[in-house]
Amino acid sequence: MRRRNVDRLADEELMELVREHNAQALEALYDRHGGPAYSLAHRIMGDRQVAEDVTQEAFVSIWRASSGYSAARGSVRSWILAIVRNRAIDALRRASSRAPLDFDDDGIMEAQASPERTETEALRREDARVVRGALQDLPPDQAQVLGLAYFSGFTHSEIAGLLGVPLGTIKGRMRLGLEKMRATMDEAIT
């Protein structure tokens, strides 16, 4: 089948061809859905290169296991994005098991060209120092949950899934961590 003809097919028809290992059909799916897939991976991962890797892994798995798609369960796009999301979460799990989260943004700030240091900038830096100190004083499980929620933008349910911990435990760690941070910050201000 010529590429021009493949481009005119609906996603569901393309999936039928991908099941038959038609590379042009997979290429057409990638052209249609690769951008949104990469955007989702980048939003989850926060790193361009890792997002590209996750997107590539997702499309390779689509090629290998195209029989997993069922039109009865939703659109091709939602199926592809679910695969990308799952691959990204797996990559986060692998990364979190290797290294602890690092909340130090001073290095990033110092590497950037900054305008003249003003009193406002000095106050902002002091506030950031107090917040980082409060985070560092937390038990690692509470700091991890707060970091995933506030720095990575995950919901409580997503964090529970990422860490393989019950939702109630995540909410408890979040509440305790915030209470401890509030107390630490109140002490620093007074």
Q: What is the pLDDT of residues 80-120, one digit of tens each?
A: 988 998 888 888 877 766 555 455 555 555 555 555 456 66
Domain residue spans of the chain: 3-98, 106-189
The class level of CATH for 3-98 reads mainly alpha
Report which of 105, 79, 95 is spatially closest to residue 44, judged by C-alpha positions: 95
Please check the confidence at residue 32 and state whether its pLDDT lies above 80: yes
Number of CB atoms found within 10 A of residue 141's CB: 15
Q: In what helix (H) or strand (E) does residue 175 lie, and over which residues does it extend?
A: helix 167-189
Which structure tokens are listed for 79?
């199926």
59, 28 Cβ separation under 8 angstroms: no
Spatial separation of the C-alpha atoms in residues 127 and 119, rounded to whole Å = 12
Share of the chain above pLDDT 70, in %: 79
- Would you state the pLDDT for residue 67? 74
Please state the pTM of the whole predicted model. Answer: 0.51
Instruction: Name residue 28's amino acid.
Output: A
Residue 72: its pLDDT value, please?
Answer: 80
Q: What is the CATH number of domain 106-189?
A: 1.10.10.10
Contacts of 156 (CB under 8 A, 6+ apart): 149, 167, 170, 171, 174
Phi-psi domain of 129 (left: phi exceeds 0; alpha: psi -120 through 50; beta: other): alpha
